[in-house]
C-alpha cells in the first residue's frame, strides 16, 4: 500500500502542484487548506498520514503552531515545512519545533520527493530500532503484535490474562508460528517487564551439555569446565525463562527440571549447595506432549506442571487476515536493515500470498519477503518477485484478474469457493500436477508451456521467445525436440 503524504497549504495553486508531484512519485496524497484541518487529519496514526508537507504562513492556525501541537499528539510524524521566507531564523525556529526538512517556495518537485523518501526511510529505521530496543529490554507488548485475525485475538486475550500472574504457560503450535513472540509479549505485559528474558532451545543443545547449560556448573566440575557458569535459570533470575521445544529434553533432565520448578532452586554441576531462583517459566512445543507421555518419552508429572495454562497458536493459514499487515511489517523491517525503498506489495502479490498454504508459517513468509525485497526492481513487490511461489501457485496473468475482484486483496480468510476458484485459475492451462496430485515431470510441463505460448501468441515466434525468455534458436530446438505444433502459416507470421 502506498504511503500517504498530507499537504497543508492555504494556496490552492501550491496544493495542486505539490499533489501532482507527490502522486507522480507513486504516493497517495491528501490535502488540507488550513492548519486546523491539517492537524485534525494528522492527529491520529490510524488515519493513514505518513508524512506532512506544511506551509508556515497561513491564516488562523499557523504552520509553527501546528508543529508545536503535533509534538504533543504525534511527535513521530515527519514534517517538512514550506515558506516564501528562507531566513536563517525561520529555519532554526522550524527545526527546533520539530521539522525535519525545509523548503523555500517554489520548491523543486524532485527535491520534495527525495526528502519524502528520506523521511520515510528514517521513520522505518526509527521503528526498527525501537522494536529491537523493546525486544532486548523485555518490554515488547501485545500492542506491538499483528493480531487482527479472530484466532489471534483469542491468543492475545489469553496472553493478557496469563501475564497478570506467574502461572506456568505452555504455548502450543506448529514450527514458525511465532511462539517466542507471544512469550515475549507476555513478559512485557507482566510485572517482570524489563527484567531478563532468557531463551533456551531445548532441541538444539547437545545431550551431554543440557544440565550444564540449564543449571550451570562449577569450575573443574568436568573436563573442559575451565570457569564457573551460572546456567540459564540463574541468568533469568527475576525474569522469564522461555523453554522452546521443551518436548526434546532428555528424560533424566526432565527430573531435574521438575525439581527446579517445584522447589524454586537449581543444583549446578559440582556445586555443594542449591541456588534459589525466582523465574517465570514459559514453555513451547510443536509436538503433542500428551502423546509423548503415552509413549513414555515425556514425564507425566512434568507435563502437568508445565501445562497449567495452555495457549494454542494458530498457523498462518488459519489467520490469513494478518498476511497483508505481516507483509507490510516485514517490508518495513527489511527496508531498514537492507537500505531498500520498497513501498509495499501490489494487489496481485497479496492475492498470490493469500493463495499459498504456508507450511512454514510466519517464518516462511518472513524469509520470502526478505528475498522478494532484495529481488524487487520497482517500488512495490510484484508476483514475479516470488518465483518459488509463482511456480507452486500458478499463472501470474490470473493474479491480476483475481486481485481486481476485490476481496482476496484484503487478506481476508478465503471461502471454499474462493479457494476452488484460485485452484482452477492457477492450474490452467498448463498443469503442474497430474490427476493424482503428484508433480508432473519438468519435460512435460515445459512442452505444454511452449505449446501454449505458441498458440497464445498465434505462432509469432519472436514474441514467444521474448515472453519465455529464451533465444529463437533455443525455441526452435525445443519445438523439434518436443514435436510441437507449428503450422507453416505460424512460421510465416513470425
The tens digit of pLDDT for each residue in 161-220 reads 999 899 999 999 999 999 999 999 999 999 999 899 999 999 888 888 888 999 998 888
Query: How many structural domains compose the chain?
Result: 3
Residue 429's pLDDT band, with cuts at 50, 70 and 90, is low
- pLDDT tens string 362-393: 999 999 999 999 988 888 898 888 887 765 55
Quick one: average pLDDT of 296-322? 94
CA 186 to chain CA centroid, Å, is 20
Last residue of one domain, picked from the residues 83, 113, 132: 132
Is 54's pLDDT higher than 70? yes
Verify that 150 and 177 share a domain, yes or no. yes
Phi, psi of 83 (to 5 degrees): -160, 160
Which grid cell is 178? 511465532
Are 482 and 442 within 8 A, CB to CB? Answer: no
Q: What is the CATH number of the domain that holds 247?
A: 3.40.50.300
Verify that 230 and 363 share a domain, yes or no. no
Verify that 259 and 292 share a domain, yes or no. yes
Verify that 308 and 322 share a domain, yes or no. no
Verify that 296 and 340 share a domain, yes or no. no
- Nearest-angstrom CA–CA distance, 401 and 399: 5
Instruction: Quote the domain boundaries for residue 383.
Output: 318-477
Domain membership of residue 484 (yes or no) is no
Domain membership of residue 226 (yes or no) is yes
Q: What percent of the chain has pLDDT over 70?
A: 88
Verify that 291 and 351 share a domain, yes or no. no
Verify that 430 and 329 share a domain, yes or no. yes
More confident residue, 349 or 429: 349
Verify that 254 and 193 share a domain, yes or no. yes
Q: Which of 135, 140, 185, 179 is nearest to 163 (CA)?
A: 185
CB atoms within 10 A of CB 206: 8
Domain membership of residue 485 (yes or no) is no
DSSP calls for 374-415: HH--SSEE-GGG-HHHHHHH--HHHHHHHHHTSGGGGTPPPP
More confident residue, 15 or 421: 15
DSSP calls for 355-374: HS--TTHHHHHHHHHHHHHH
Domain membership of residue 461 (yes or no) is yes
CB atoms within 10 A of CB 445: 16
Amino acid at each position: 500500500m502506498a504511503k500517504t503524504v498530507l499537504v497543508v497549504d492555504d494556496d490552492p495553486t501550491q496544493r495542486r502542484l505539490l499533489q501532482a508531484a507527490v502522486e507522480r512519485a507513486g504516493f497517495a496524497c491528501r490535502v488540507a487548506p488550513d492548519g486546523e484541518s491539517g492537524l485534525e487529519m494528522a492527529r491520529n496514526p490510524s488515519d493513514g498520514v505518513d508524512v506532512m508537507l506544511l506551509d508556515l504562513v497561513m491564516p488562523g492556525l499557523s504552520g509553527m503552531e501546528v508543529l508545536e501541537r503535533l509534538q504533543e499528539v504525534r511527535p513521530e510524524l515527519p514534517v517538512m515545512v514550506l515558506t516564501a521566507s528562507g531566513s536563517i531564523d525561520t529555519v532554526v525556529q522550524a527545526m527546533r519545533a520539530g521539522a525535519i526538512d525545509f523548503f523555500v517556495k517554489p520548491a523543486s518537485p524532485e527535491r520534495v520527493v527525495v526528502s519524502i523518501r528520506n523521511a520515510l526511510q528514517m521513520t522505518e529505521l526509527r521503528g526498527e530500532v525501537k522494536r529491537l530496543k523493546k525486544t532486548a529490554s523485555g518490554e515488547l507488548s501485545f500492542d506491538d503484535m499483528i493480531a487482527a485475525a479472530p484466532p489471534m485475538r483469542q491468543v492475545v486475550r489469553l496472553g493478557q490474562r496469563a501475564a497478570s500472574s506467574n502461572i506456568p504457560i505452555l504455548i502450543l503450535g506448529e514450527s514458525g508460528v511465532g511462539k517466542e513472540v507471544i512469550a515475549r509479549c507476555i513478559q512485557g505485559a507482566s510485572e517482570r517487564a524489563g527484567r531478563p528474558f532468557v531463551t533456551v532451545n531445548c532441541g538444539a543443545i547437545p545431550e551431554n551439555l543440557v544440565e550444564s547449560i540449564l543449571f550451570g556448573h562449577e569450575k573443574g566440575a568436568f573436563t573442559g569446565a575451565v570457569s564457573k557458569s551460572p546456567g540459564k535459570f540463574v541468568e533469568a533470575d527475576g525474569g522469564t525463562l522461555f523453554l522452546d521445544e521443551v518436548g526434546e529434553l532428555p528424560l533424566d533432565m526432565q527430573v531435574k527440571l521438575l525439581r527446579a520448578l517445584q522447589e524454586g532452586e537449581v543444583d549446578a554441576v559440582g556445586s555443594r549447595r542449591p541456588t534459589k531462583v525466582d523465574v517465570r517459566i514459559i514453555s513451547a512445543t510443536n509436538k503433542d506432549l500428551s502423546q509423548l507421555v503415552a509413549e513414555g518419552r515425556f514425564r507425566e508429572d512434568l507435563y502437568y506442571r508445565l501445562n497449567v495454562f495452555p495457549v494454542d497458536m494458530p498457523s498462518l493459514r488459519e489467520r490469513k487476515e494478518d498476511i497483508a499487515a505481516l507483509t507490510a511489517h516485514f517490508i518495513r523491517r527489511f527496508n531498514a536493515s537492507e537500505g531498500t525503498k520498497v513501498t509495499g506489495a501490489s494487489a496481485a502479490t497479496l492475492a498470490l500470498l493469500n493463495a499459498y498454504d504456508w507450511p512454514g508459517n510466519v517464518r516462511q513468509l518472513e524469509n520470502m519477503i526478505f528475498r522478494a525485497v532484495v529481488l524487487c526492481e520497482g517500488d512495490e513487490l510484484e508476483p514475479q518477485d516470488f518465483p518459488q511461489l509463482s511456480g507452486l501457485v500458478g499463472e501470474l496473468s490470473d493474479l491480476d484478474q483475481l486481485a481486481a475482484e476485490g476481496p482476496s486483496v484484503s487478506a481476508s480468510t478465503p471461502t471454499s469457493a474462493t479457494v476452488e476458484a484460485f485452484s482452477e485459475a492457477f492450474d490452467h492451462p498448463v498443469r503442474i500436477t497430474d490427476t493424482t496430485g503428484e508433480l508432473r515431470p519438468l519435460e512435460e510441463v515445459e512442452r505444454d508451456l511452449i505449446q501454449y505460448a505458441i498458440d497464445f501468441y498465434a505462432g509469432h515466434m519472436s514474441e514467444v521467445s521474448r515472453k519465455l525468455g529464451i533465444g529463437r534458436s533455443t525455441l526452435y530446438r525445443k519445438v523439434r525436440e518436443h514435436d510441437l505444433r507449428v503450422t507453416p502459416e505460424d512460421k510465416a507470421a513470425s
